[in-house]
């Protein structure tokens, strides 16, 4: 009996002594210049946080430069480095989802390799979860140094619009950089939709989240992969994923136009029968047809976008395809 008790006590002590682990997920696309700088900074933070274990998961999203080889070199000198290399470029959303599935830590952080989000924030975020009782700590940057005037205006208008038409709240300037408990990660992984909009998904799952406002820094190297057009498409993706308001608007406008046309027809009939007024000529009719035709095409386009998203979801294609990992190298 005493031996059994000692074993049980030993197991309890061992479990208490086990360090918690933080998984750092880093999606990478052509980041050969910034990766060494990022690795140096994040390992410094790991050394300072001695009570916690770390693993660094780099997602090579079909990079065309030397990114994958740099990651492999980091793996050779540091066992904490793990990686997934995609068969092609699947986008940042696919990279983040793959990292979340691959992570083994008690806490999981998503970061960019360009150093716009300072790794030193990890310590403050971890403290907020452990000491203040939050499930997730995320960063938002309403002001961004790299944004031009047009981009700033568009971003501001976008957050106002999505806040009004969507039931899922969107924090202005929300970044992908966040630290989450395992239960938050599991909730996000459970949503296996193909058309992913992570900022909306993070809000959709809920949980007690703390937002820290800061000013995003400039990239340490390389150029941003998100130009204005890509950001516009990404914003449109978020609208389609978390709001059906455009469909409601198209239905309302259609009913209003039908009512107006019905009233107009009645007025024309009354004027013709009562006063013998001739019907207006073809120019006004032609303008009306062109206007109605354009409006119909516009709303057909909205419905088409929703149907295309549904079409892709029904096909159940994989969110990403893995070409190799660190395990295939061993």
| Structural domains of the chain, count | 2
- Evaluate if residue 214 carries a pLDDT over 60: yes
- Evaluate if residue 192 carries a pLDDT over 70: yes
Render pLDDT for 27-67 as a digit per residue (tens, 0 to 9).
Answer: 888 888 888 888 888 888 888 888 888 899 999 888 888 88
CA distance 1 to 20: 32
Is 216 in contact with 117 (CB distance < 8 Å)?
yes
pLDDT tier at 316, thresholds 50, 70, 90:
confident
Tell whether 216 and 257 lie within a shared domain: no
- Evaluate if residue 190 carries a pLDDT over 50: yes
In a domain, 240, yes or no: no
Tell whether 79 and 194 lie within a shared domain: yes
Give which of 137, 142, 177, 176 is closest to 158, Cα–Cα.
142
Tell whether 308 and 214 lie within a shared domain: no
In a domain, 233, yes or no: no
Mean of pLDDT over the chain? 75
Is 211 in contact with 140 (CB distance < 8 Å)?
yes
Give the DSSP per-residue string, 188-208: HHT---SS--HHHHHHHH---
Tell whether 260 and 213 lie within a shared domain: no
In a domain, 87, yes or no: yes
Query: Encoding tokens for residue 36?
Result: 């060494």
pLDDT tier at 9, thresholds 50, 70, 90:
very low
Render pLDDT for 116-152 as a digit per residue (tens, 0 to 9).
Answer: 888 888 888 888 888 888 888 888 776 655 556 666 6
- Evaluate if residue 112 carries a pLDDT over 60: yes
Tell whether 87 and 109 lie within a shared domain: yes
Other beta carbons less than 10 A from residue 6's beta carbon: 10
Render pLDDT for 249-300 as a digit per residue (tens, 0 to 9).
Answer: 766 776 776 667 667 667 766 766 666 666 555 556 666 676 777 677 677 7
Domain, as residue range, for 290: 245-315
- Percent of the chain beyond pLDDT 90? 0
Q: What's the confidence (pLDDT) of residue 4?
A: 41
Tell whether 48 and 114 lie within a shared domain: yes
pLDDT tier at 111, thresholds 50, 70, 90:
confident
Q: What's the confidence (pLDDT) of residue 129?
A: 85
Query: Encoding tokens for residue 163?
Result: 């806040």
Tell whether 130 and 275 lie within a shared domain: no
- Report the pLDDT averaged over residues 84-90: 86
Q: What's the confidence (pLDDT) of residue 280?
A: 58
Q: What's the confidence (pLDDT) of residue 5?
A: 46
**Of residues 218 and 80, more confidently modeled:** 80
- Report the pLDDT averaged over residues 169-183: 78
Tell whether 41 and 119 lie within a shared domain: yes
- The kind and range of the H/E element at 52 are strand 52-60
Token pair 């202005």: residue:
172
Tell whether 118 and 195 lie within a shared domain: yes
- Report the pLDDT averaged over residues 75-87: 87
pLDDT tier at 166, thresholds 50, 70, 90:
low
pLDDT tier at 177, thresholds 50, 70, 90:
confident
Tell whether 84 and 200 lie within a shared domain: yes
Tell whether 309 and 325 lie within a shared domain: no
CATH number of the structural domain spanning residue 177: 3.90.550.10
Q: What's the confidence (pLDDT) of residue 146?
A: 57
Of the listed ranges 16-25, 32-41, 184-193, 225-234, the least confidently predicted one is 225-234
Q: What's the confidence (pLDDT) of residue 281?
A: 59
Classify the C-alpha dihedral 74-79-85-91 as positive or negative: negative
Q: What's the confidence (pLDDT) of residue 194?
A: 75
Q: What's the confidence (pLDDT) of residue 239?
A: 65
Tell whether 41 and 154 lie within a shared domain: yes
């Amino acid at each position: 009996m005493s031996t059994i008790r000692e074993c049980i006590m030993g197991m309890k002590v061992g479990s208490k002594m086990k360090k918690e682990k933080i998984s750092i997920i880093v999606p990478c696309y052509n980041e050969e210049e910034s990766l060494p700088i990022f690795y140096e900074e994040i390992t410094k933070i790991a050394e300072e946080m001695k009570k916690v274990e770390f693993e660094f998961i780099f997602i090579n999203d079909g990079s065309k430069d030397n990114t994958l080889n740099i990651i492999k070199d980091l793996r050779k000198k540091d066992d904490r480095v793990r990686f997934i290399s995609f068969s092609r470029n699947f986008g940042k959303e696919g990279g983040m989802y793959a990292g979340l599935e691959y992570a083994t830590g008690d806490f999981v952080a998503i970061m960019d390799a360009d150093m716009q989000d300072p790794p030193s924030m990890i310590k403050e975020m971890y403290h907020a979860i452990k000491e203040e009782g939050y499930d997730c700590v995320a960063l938002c940057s309403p002001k961004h140094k790299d944004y031009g005037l047009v981009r700033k205006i568009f971003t501001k208008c976008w957050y106002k619009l999505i806040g009004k038409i969507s039931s899922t709240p969107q924090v202005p300037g929300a970044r992908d950089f966040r630290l989450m408990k395992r239960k938050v990660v599991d909730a996000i992984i459970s949503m296996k939709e193909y058309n992913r909009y992570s900022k909306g998904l993070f809000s959709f799952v809920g949980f007690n989240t703390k937002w820290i406002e800061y000013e995003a820094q400039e990239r340490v190297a390389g150029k941003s992969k998100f130009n204005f057009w890509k950001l516009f498409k990404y914003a449109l993706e978020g609208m389609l994923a978390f709001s059906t308001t455009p469909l409601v608007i198209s239905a309302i406008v259609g009913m209003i136009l039908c009512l107006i046309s019905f009233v107009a027809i009645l007025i024309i009939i009354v004027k013709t029968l009562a006063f013998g007024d001739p019907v207006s000529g073809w120019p006004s009719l032609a303008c009306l047809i062109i206007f109605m035709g354009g409006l119909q095409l516009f709303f057909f386009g909205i419905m088409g976008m929703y149907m295309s998203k549904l079409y892709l979801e029904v096909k159940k294609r994989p969110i990403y395809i893995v070409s190799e990992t660190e395990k295939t190298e061993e």
